[in-house]
């Protein structure tokens, strides 16, 4: 499936160079107060939106940086900023 | 068959015979033939039998638009013979026939078509459920395509190429060639993809005059010469497009010429701008038996003669929908084909000079007439013609019926690129209404027919693509627009797609045997829009990717039924546009692996090298599979192992310790200098991912190891789990920078002491210590004293460039003690005797640190570190009903271990054997297994079921681990 990703260091590259790191769920929760349910939500539950989602990628075959992008999951295109209609893709 | 040899347009070489074997007999073709043209020239008319009804099918198209010519070639099923180049010695067999294609025992199925209405499979295949297990295998035998032997290995050389370009032009016809030229002449890098093995599109095979008096064929050849002279223009012929993505990526399936380095190739092209000039295919005309062998597209008959020198019939009826069809009939008449008559679905609009020529040759011309039925069992013998209103009928004898309702644009590539279409009533085409940025369309698919207008539209699109790449093209575009306005625009096409017929044998989709009657049945059952009809009748879902029914389905529904879709719309196009072999996607599959710095020494010492993960490693040093002698030599004497594949890392910087605390379950804040800390990494579920040792080499500066398998992903792992923290640390992967020599066994100290001045005695280098020593007086080595195989053991991390020297020094020192190399097999057994787990072998995805009995590694009092997996380790610590890792011995004692993976049973499955081996040191079988917790107590007896044991269960009993030297005295010797 075709995807291009813009790495903050290396620039726009073929998606094959990157590995997906999941949806952006925010920093790790505090361990002391964490219930099993909250832990499960943080670790396993995806929102799987049809639209723009913020997610993590690593430039595995490049600089090795972890960074987050916004991607429109309906057309599989990285978008510059979250937009509601998702049509303005950065290609 | 005698070929026409004198034609300039011919692609076959008369002197070069190429013979294939078809059903056991030899068929002679010529260099330049496809499999289908060679067979056709050899007299074959019935190429296959259809999917459901076993109707005879013949050569209908030449670009893979129908599945009629799917055959098995050299054992590969479902090969489209019409696009497969002939090679000498090919073995070709028909598919889906019982008997021969001409006399198929299953031919009676056609008479049963009334019993197989639309959606037959969906509606019949449920009640009564009991009969279907018997019926389905029978149906599978009668319906379907080719068969593939499970052990078949795909022959051929496969490649993949990943290209970047400024402009990618899809289609190498006149518009595509000019688009490519226009962009290339602006200095841009251009890739041109053409599905046929040559350029030129619908110019290439025609002797029709071009604007300046030369023929279209000459013009095409001239353009090709121009293209080939451009160094920045890459032409990929015989490369149909497989997919186009909204990111302006184009993928294709390329066949290599005989001289190429590949047979099949998968190019993936990233462009900045795309020009789609895919032209048109013929729009099938709908009438009874419209797929009978002998019915073909007019352009198919025309190209058979012009390109391959084959006159497809002796007495032909042409039923056409545009001037191209009339031109084909006239050209074929000139080449010697008898033309019985030409009918045209159009009442008017024909070019007058074509009509004059027809009358001068006394070929009857019938305006507004169409075929209603083709006669003949296995091939066409006659055709019944009728005016469009069906008021009269006339039967004409013929052996070839060239029939078409005009043209249908090939919109697949454009559609995948994200274009939207609307129905245009002038052209009868689905024309692009909106094109995404960076995508341009040109040529015949816009409805153009005038040669010069097509060329200018190509140049225009090429310039617009250049504009996308930052070129200033506005001025040139204005000039072109002026010229284009003086030329003919899109031309009218017939809307009619069907003669006056009932339609039970009128096929909309050849591949899936879908008739227009099936479509009507589908409509009656409420599947009333093309997208639903497509799914219910399977029209357009066959191997030729919907080329034949493509637009006809939507047009037929739009014209003849009250569909909720008021505007006809094409059904959604999805990749692949063209079938591609999985072997081609898989690519060359080069067998690459990494070699350690002492690979050559290992191999020279008799190492049996195997690919393990990314590495080539020595499995053992003799043919003895159990590595028995290697193991005993370590236990009783001393062995040397190449451990260079271990992951080795440096982490340093102010927050280095925090990062280690995050990923290691142990407490990494209190590592004493000169000591080794053994710890483990878990994933978020508390399952073991990796284990290794950490040493502190200075303030905020650590050296640590990972297992071999994790060497490539450890840095990514640590950075991932600290990605929100903004910590200041640096990670360096030293895996390839250091080699590792492991010397283990009771005599290890004696051997090593000979090559270093450092005092290796227990006092100065105790167990679990880390020292930096020199080997051979000058080679720096990071030395660790580890358990590893449970003997006295030293691990030397040596810079890779010194590895060979250090290895040879140690090896020489070991000579007098009988030191021998040992391999991976010995290492695994030695470590199993000590109860060490191999991740992925003794653990699986659900196995937590607790389950493995390694919970002691977890330091629970560091919540602030928010250690990966700690939350899960808390929650699962006392969880019940888990599989636990335990050691076992055979009871009664057995002389061989159970197979890895054998199942532990107690009425029901209670676990499985992870690893079991005959332990050379203990002289008995020991192993490790994951079992239900209630069965994990020491002394619990089990039964083990082995595959194919025929009810003879093995007995085992849970035994304490480690099996060997449980007090761990030997490694502290």
Closest to B162 in 3D by CA, of A22, A20, A13? A13
- Mark yes or no for CB contact A28/B270 under 8 Å: no
Whole-number Å distance between alpha carbons of B691 and B888: 23
Q: Report ipTM (2 d.p.).
A: 0.92
User: What DSSP line would sit under B215-283, residue for residue?
Assistant: BHHHHHHHHHHHHHT-TTEEEE-S--EEEEETTTEEEE-EEPPTTSS-SEEEEEEE-SEEEE---EEEP
Query: What are the tens digits of pLDDT across the range B787-804?
Result: 889 999 999 999 999 999
What percent of chain B lies above the pLDDT cut of 70? 99
How many CB atoms within 10 Å of residue B585? 15
How many CB atoms within 10 Å of residue B573? 18
- Mark yes or no for CB contact A66/B872 under 8 Å: no
- Mark yes or no for CB contact B247/A64 under 8 Å: no
Which residues of B fall within a CB distance of 8 Å from A32? 863
Contact B839, B691 (CB under 8 A): yes
Instruction: State the residue for tokens 């066959």.
Output: B542
Q: What would the two tokens of residue B786 be?
A: 């580890």
Could you tell me which chain B residue has the CA closest to the CA of A29? B866
Taking the Cβ of residue A66 and every Cβ of chain B, the question of whether any pair is shorter than 8 Å is answered with yes
Q: Which helix (H) or strand (E) segment is B30 a member of? A: strand B25-31
pLDDT of residue A86: 44
Could you tell me which chain B residue has the CA closest to the CA of A3? B247
For B290-321, b/e burial (b = at least 16 CB within 10 A) is bbbbbbbbbbbbbbbbbbbbbbbbeebbbbbb
pLDDT of residue B1: 66
The reply to whether omega before B27 is within 30° of 0 (cis) is no
Taking the Cβ of residue B759 and every Cβ of chain A, the question of whether any pair is shorter than 8 Å is answered with no
Closest to B489 in 3D by CA, of B453, B518, B538? B453
- Mark yes or no for CB contact B875/A58 under 8 Å: no
- B651-675 mean pLDDT: 95
Specify the 3-state DSSP secondary structure of B582: helix
- Mark yes or no for CB contact A2/B247 under 8 Å: yes
Q: Which helix (H) or strand (E) segment is B943 a member of? A: strand B941-945
Whole-number Å distance between alpha carbons of B973 and B969: 7
Which residues of A fall within a CB distance of 8 Å from B438? 91
Taking the Cβ of residue A9 and every Cβ of chain B, the question of whether any pair is shorter than 8 Å is answered with no
- Mark yes or no for CB contact B162/A39 under 8 Å: no
Banded pLDDT at A90 (limits 50, 70, 90): very low
Query: What are the tens digits of pLDDT across the range B600-655?
Result: 999 999 999 999 989 999 999 999 888 999 999 999 999 999 999 999 999 999 99
Instruction: State the residue for tokens 């199993």.
Output: B832
- Mark yes or no for CB contact B724/A75 under 8 Å: no
For residue B280, list its beta bridge partners: B409
Dihedral of CA atoms B419, B423, B428, B430 in degrees, nearest 10, equals 20
Banded pLDDT at B906 (limits 50, 70, 90): confident
Whole-number Å distance between alpha carbons of B246 and A91: 8
Taking the Cβ of residue B163 and every Cβ of chain A, the question of whether any pair is shorter than 8 Å is answered with no
Sequence-separated (6 or more) residues with CB below 8 Å from residue B759: B765
Taking the Cβ of residue A83 and every Cβ of chain B, the question of whether any pair is shorter than 8 Å is answered with no
DSSP B498: B
Banded pLDDT at B812 (limits 50, 70, 90): very high
Q: HSE of B335 in the Cβ direction (CA atoms, 13 Å)?
A: 33
Sequence-separated (6 or more) residues with CB below 8 Å from residue B524: none
Residues 249-278 of B with CB under 8 A from A: 249, 251, 270
Q: What would the two tokens of residue B426 be?
A: 């002038």
pLDDT of residue B95: 87
Dihedral of CA atoms B847, B853, B858, B861 in degrees, nearest 10, equals 110
* Least-confidence region, from B247-256, B264-273, B903-912: B903-912
Q: HSE of B74 in the Cβ direction (CA atoms, 13 Å)?
A: 13
Q: HSE of B733 in the Cβ direction (CA atoms, 13 Å)?
A: 19
Taking the Cβ of residue B325 and every Cβ of chain A, the question of whether any pair is shorter than 8 Å is answered with no
Which of B168, B266, B682, B871 has the highest number of chain A CBs within 10 A, making it the mutation to test binding with A? Answer: B871
Closest to A46 in 3D by CA, of A24, A61, A27, A72? A24
How many CB atoms within 10 Å of residue B597? 21
pLDDT at A1 over 80: no
Beta strands in B398-536 (DSSP E): 400-403, 407-409, 420-424, 429-434, 439-441, 507-509, 514-515
Could you tell me which chain A residue has the CA closest to the CA of B249? A2
Could you tell me which chain A residue has the CA closest to the CA of B715? A64
Task: Report the gap between the CA of B799 and the closest CA in chain A (Å).
Answer: 24
Could you tell me which chain B residue has the CA closest to the CA of A22? B720
Banded pLDDT at B324 (limits 50, 70, 90): very high
Banded pLDDT at B134 (limits 50, 70, 90): confident
Q: What would the two tokens of residue B114 be?
A: 């009334």
Contact B287, B403 (CB under 8 A): yes
Indicate the average pLDDT of chain A: 87
Q: Where are the alpha helices (DSSP H) in B259-380?
A: 298-308, 323-334, 352-360
Whole-number Å distance between alpha carbons of B378 and B373: 14
pLDDT at B884 over 80: yes
pLDDT at B542 over 90: no
What percent of chain B lies above the pLDDT cut of 90? 76
Banded pLDDT at B707 (limits 50, 70, 90): very high
- Mark yes or no for CB contact A26/B724 under 8 Å: yes
Contact B645, B609 (CB under 8 A): no
Query: What are the tens digits of pLDDT across the range B187-211?
Result: 999 999 999 999 999 999 999 999 7
pLDDT of residue B137: 80
Whole-number Å distance between alpha carbons of B255 and B266: 9
């Amino acid at each position: 499936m075709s995807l291009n990703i813009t790495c903050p260091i290396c620039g726009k590259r073929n998606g094959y160079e990157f590995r997906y790191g999941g949806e952006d769920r925010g920093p790790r929760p505090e361990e002391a107060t964490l219930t099993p349910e909250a832990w499960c939500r943080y670790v396993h539950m995806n929102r799987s939106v049809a639209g723009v989602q913020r997610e993590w990628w690593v430039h595995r075959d490049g600089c090795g940086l972890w960074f987050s992008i916004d991607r429109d999951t309906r057309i599989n295109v990285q978008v510059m900023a979250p937009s509601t209609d998702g049509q303005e893709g950065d290609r | 068959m005698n070929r026409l040899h004198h034609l300039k347009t011919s692609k076959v070489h008369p002197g070069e015979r190429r013979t294939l074997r078809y059903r056991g007999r030899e068929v002679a073709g010529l260099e330049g033939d496809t499999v289908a043209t060679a067979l056709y020239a050899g007299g074959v008319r019935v190429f296959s039998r259809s999917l459901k009804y076993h109707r005879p099918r013949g050569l209908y198209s030449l670009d893979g638009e129908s599945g009629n010519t799917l055959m098995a070639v050299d054992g590969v099923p479902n090969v489209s013979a019409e696009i497969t180049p002939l090679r000498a010695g090919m073995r070709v067999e028909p598919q889906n026939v019982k008997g021969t294609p001409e006399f198929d025992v299953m031919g009676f199925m056609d008479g049963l078509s009334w019993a197989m209405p639309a959606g037959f499979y969906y509606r019949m295949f449920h009640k009564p459920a009991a009969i279907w297990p018997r019926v389905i295998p029978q149906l599978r035998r009668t319906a379907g395509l080719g068969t593939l032997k499970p052990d078949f290995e795909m022959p051929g050389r496969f490649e993949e190429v990943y290209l970047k370009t400024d402009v990618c032009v899809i289609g190498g016809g006149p518009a595509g060639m000019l688009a490519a030229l226009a962009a290339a002449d602006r200095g841009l890098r251009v890739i041109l993809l053409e599905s046929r093995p040559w350029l030129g599109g619908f110019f290439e095979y025609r002797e029709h005059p071009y604007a300046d008096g030369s023929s279209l064929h000459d013009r095409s050849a001239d353009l090709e010469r121009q293209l080939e002279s451009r160094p920045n223009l890459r032409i990929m012929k015989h490369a149909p497009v497989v997919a186009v993505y909204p990111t302006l990526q184009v993928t294709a399936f390329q066949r290599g010429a005989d001289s190429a380095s590949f047979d099949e190739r998968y190019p993936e092209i990233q462009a900045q701008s795309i020009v789609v000039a895919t032209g048109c295919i013929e729009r099938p005309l709908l009438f009874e038996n419209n797929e009978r062998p002998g019915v073909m597209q007019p352009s198919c008959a025309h190209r058979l003669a012009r390109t391959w020198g084959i006159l497809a019939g002796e007495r032909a009826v042409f039923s056409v929908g545009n001037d191209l069809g009339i031109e084909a009939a006239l050209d074929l008449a000139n080449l010697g084909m008898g033309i019985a008559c030409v009918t045209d679905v159009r009442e008017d609009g024909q070019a007058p000079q074509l009509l004059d020529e027809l009358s001068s040759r006394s070929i009857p011309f019938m305006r507004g007439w169409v075929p209603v039925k083709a006669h003949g069992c296995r091939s066409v013998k006659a055709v019944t013609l009728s005016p469009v209103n069906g008021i009269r009928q006339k039967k004409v004898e013929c052996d070839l019926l060239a029939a078409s309702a005009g043209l249908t644009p090939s919109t697949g590539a454009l559609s995948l690129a994200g274009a939207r279409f609307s129905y245009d009533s002038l052209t009868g085409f689905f024309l692009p209404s909106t094109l995404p940025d960076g995508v341009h369309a040109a040529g015949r698919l816009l409805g153009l027919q005038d040669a010069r207008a097509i060329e200018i539209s190509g140049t225009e699109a090429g310039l617009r693509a250049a504009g996308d790449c930052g070129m200033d093209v506005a001025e040139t575009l204005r000039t072109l627009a002026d010229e284009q306005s003086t030329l003919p625009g899109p031309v009218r096409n017939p809307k009619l797609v069907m003669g006056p017929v009932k339609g039970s044998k009128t096929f909309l989709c050849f591949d899936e045997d879908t008739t227009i009657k099936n479509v009507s049945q589908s409509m009656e059952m409420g599947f009333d829009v093309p997208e639903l009809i497509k799914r219910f009748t399977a029209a357009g879902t066959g191997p030729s990717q919907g080329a034949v029914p493509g637009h006809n389905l939507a047009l037929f529904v739009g014209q003849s039924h009250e569909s909720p879709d008021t505007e006809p719309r094409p059904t959604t196009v999805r990749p692949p546009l063209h079938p591609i072999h999985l072997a081609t996607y898989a690519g060359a599959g080069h067998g690459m692996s990494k070699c350690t710095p002492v690979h050559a020494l290992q191999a020279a010492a008799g190492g049996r090298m195997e690919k393990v993960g990314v590495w080539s490693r020595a499995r053992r040093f003799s043919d003895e599979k159990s590595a028995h002698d290697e193991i005993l030599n370590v236990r009783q004497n001393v062995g040397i192992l190449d451990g260079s594949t271990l992951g080795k890392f440096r982490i340093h910087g102010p927050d280095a310790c925090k990062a280690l605390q995050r990923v290691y379950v142990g407490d990494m804040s209190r590592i004493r200098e000169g000591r080794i800390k053994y710890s483990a990494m878990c994933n978020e579920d508390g399952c073991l991912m990796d284990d290794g040792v950490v040493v502190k080499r200075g303030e905020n500066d650590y050296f640590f190891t990972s297992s071999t398998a994790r060497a490539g992903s450890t840095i990514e792992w640590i950075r991932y789990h600290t990605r929100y923290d903004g910590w200041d640390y640096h990670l360096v992967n030293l895996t390839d920078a250091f080699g590792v020599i492991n010397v283990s066994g009771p005599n290890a100290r004696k051997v090593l002491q000979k090559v270093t001045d450092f005092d290796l005695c227990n006092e100065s280098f105790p167990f679990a210590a880390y020292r930096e020593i020199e080997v051979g007086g000058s080679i720096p080595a990071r030395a660790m004293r580890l358990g590893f195989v449970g003997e006295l053991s030293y691990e030397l991390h040596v810079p890779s460039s010194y590895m060979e020297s250090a290895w040879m020094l140690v090896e020489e020192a070991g000579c007098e003690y009988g030191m021998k190399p040992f391999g991976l097999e010995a290492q695994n057994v030695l470590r199993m005797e000590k109860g060490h787990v191999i991740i992925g072998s003794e653990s699986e995805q659900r196995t937590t640190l607790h389950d493995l009995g390694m919970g002691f590694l977890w330091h629970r009092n560091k919540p602030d570190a928010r250690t990966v997996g700690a939350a899960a380790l808390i929650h699962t610590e006392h969880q019940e009903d888990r599989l636990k890792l335990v050691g076992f011995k055979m009871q009664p004692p057995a002389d061989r271990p159970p197979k890895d993976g054998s199942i532990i049973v107690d009425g029901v499955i209670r676990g499985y054997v992870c690893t079991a081996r005959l332990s050379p040191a203990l002289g008995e079988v020991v192993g490790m297994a994951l079992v239900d917790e209630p069965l994990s107590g020491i002394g619990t007896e089990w039964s083990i079921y082995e595959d194919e044991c025929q009810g003879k269960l093995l007995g085992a009993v849970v035994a304490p681990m480690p099996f060997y030297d449980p007090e761990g005295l030997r490694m502290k010797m």
